[in-house]
Chains A and B, each alone.
Chain A
């Protein structure tokens, strides 16, 4: 079946992204593996299925845009961009290295394929609205995607933007909320309750769709559904922080810490094993 083949391919891409995340953060000696691993499947779906892009023309005016508002997941974004062909995969080895272009957080002036510089949480949705409005003004049919962290939406600016998006009828805008339940200081519900999440966004005039953020079938269906809502749409993707590396899954400690030498070997072994199982 076509769909099954697509799903297999996307799973393979997500795994490649995860391996690059571990590899590049390990080599850099710093970075954010947890939130990069949780969003890998979403990025695979976007860059290898949903988004209209041309890696040869990163500035193509009609391309779909992605704002990685949770900019600390840069290692996953860079992996997706490299795998898609925006720049050589080799460069991923130079993440965070002096004199190289892959900054710790996304920089649109340095990295081909990065549509917006981010890193200070809470700002990306506003920028995505600007992109959405420009598309409408110019009668271009591109779409704008933005990825938010669940801790990130503690920020007041996100809610200013949530109101603005529906007010301005940004129907070409899809926000994806990486609902991994963790921020830095603890569980999101302990630090700052976010529920009832769905209703909060609906009350702001959004269409809300829920999906298992690690199930390609559900993600594809959600993205497909988001195309036709006629409203700004939020996809809440339920995910596991650190997904697919056993000792990182669901932990706070790997939010912003690289694996040790031993942990690196273990992580890569686990990811390779999952990859082999995929090929069976």
Chain B
């Protein structure tokens, strides 16, 4: 079990990203970074300031950026390409498919502003289907870190692992839940709470909500197993099946459509031995403008909603 706790400490995942990039930049001359006129928002600009020769702002031309990243990667560069999730994946799906995933190139697409917590910008900027799009691509690995500490662990790990990656982060500051750095294990789930009554599988910043849900359930004598899934693909299917066998019901939570993301991946993994599974996410609708907190509440992405779903999943399991 990995130590994780809810603290008051908030940190932006993008700060973790830019710190990790700069660290990598010092360690490895082959690391290059590309952005598409959002370098201040994604915070890749910090890398560009330290390593101007290895930073390429491609302008508002995301498709070209993905191709340039691919070309750099054919020549031995480890190319980090960043922009908002909606543009990184939706606008460039074919470029990623043809010029990055199929030729298995060392391009690490690190997207920010994923999910509904983007807030005020509204549906046009709230990417809720990026994991679905990236997950279906052969060779592509899909990651959603829980906090800034995990981002700092993840970035060097994906740089050291050949081939394409997609990493999604939100815009908002997020609670720091991990107290220390660890070796990031690709494809491995992270057990955060050991309960046996119900399993909560969460990814990205929903993991903090899952920890909160654990605390809401505990006074009622319900011990939830909380599994953090930073790697949505390749999914830790063994951990899912073990949880299904040992707790008999699951809830998944993600700031993403319930179609094609974590919940879908978990459903696929336990298809042969199904147990009740409730998926929390955005229910096949576009988002809207609002404050991050209010939107998370309106769309049911809260600890309270997770706890309620956990209770329902247990009832389904018990036939009560």
Contacts and interface: CB of A to CB of B under 8 A. Distances in A.
A127 B102 CA distance: 14
Nearest to B62: A160
**6 smallest A-B Cβ distances: which pairs?**
A130-B71, A126-B67, A134-B75, A160-B64, A160-B61, A127-B71
A137 B77 CA distance: 10
Interface in B66-117: 66-77, 79, 94-95, 97-99, 102-104
A52 interface: no
Contacts of A65: 74
- Interface footprint category on A: 35 or more
B278 to A, nearest CB: 39
A131 B53 CA distance: 15
B59 interface: yes
Nearest to B73: A130
Most buried by B among A67, A132, A137: A137
Interface string A101-126: 00000011100000111111001111
A128 B70 CA distance: 9
B99 A117 contact: yes
A154 to B, nearest CB: 14
Given A118-B98, A130-B70, A130-B73, A109 B104 contact: yes
Interface of B is mostly: helix
Contacts of B94: 120, 123
A105 B103 CA distance: 12
B312 interface: no
A157 B98 contact: no
Among A116, A124, A126, chain B packs the most CB atoms within 10 A around the CB of A126
Contacts of B103: 107-109, 116-117
Contacts of A160: 58-59, 61, 63-64
B63 A130 contact: no
B196 interface: no
B75 A127 contact: no
B32 interface: yes
Contacts of A7: none
Contacts of A119: 98
A163 interface: yes
A126 B66 contact: yes
A130 B95 contact: no
A132 B99 CA distance: 16
Most chain B Cβ neighbours within 10 Å, of A123, A135, A138, A168: A123
Contact of A163 (B61, B71, B74, B99): B61
A131 B61 contact: no
B165 interface: no
A161 B67 CA distance: 9
Contacts of B71: 67, 116, 126-134
Contacts of B67: 123-127, 129-130, 157, 161
Contacts of A28: none
Interface in B33-65: 53-54, 56, 58-59, 61, 63-65
B61 A130 contact: no
A206 to B, nearest CB: 15
B54 A127 contact: no
18 contacts: A61-B75, A107-B103, A109-B103, A116-B70, A117-B99, A118-B98, A119-B98, A120-B97, A124-B67, A126-B66, A129-B67, A133-B68, A134-B75, A137-B32, A137-B53, A160-B58, A161-B67, A164-B68
Nearest to B66: A126
Query: Which residue, of A61, A65, A116, A119, has the highest number of chain B Cβ atoms within 10 A?
Result: A116
A179 B183 CA distance: 54
A124 B74 CA distance: 12
A120 B79 CA distance: 21
A164 B94 CA distance: 20
A131 B63 contact: no
Given A163-B59, A168-B56, A133 B98 contact: no
Contacts of B72: 130-131, 133-134
B251 to A, nearest CB: 39
Nearest to B69: A130
Nearest to A162: B64
Given A127-B70, A133-B68, A157-B67, 8 more contacts: A123-B67, A129-B64, A130-B71, A137-B32, A156-B63, A157-B64, A160-B63, A164-B58
B195 to A, nearest CB: 45
A125 B71 CA distance: 9
Nearest to A69: B67
A157 B75 contact: no
A127 B68 contact: yes
Contacts of B102: 107, 117
B106 to A, nearest CB: 11
A164 B61 CA distance: 9
Given A109-B104, A137-B32, A164 B74 contact: no
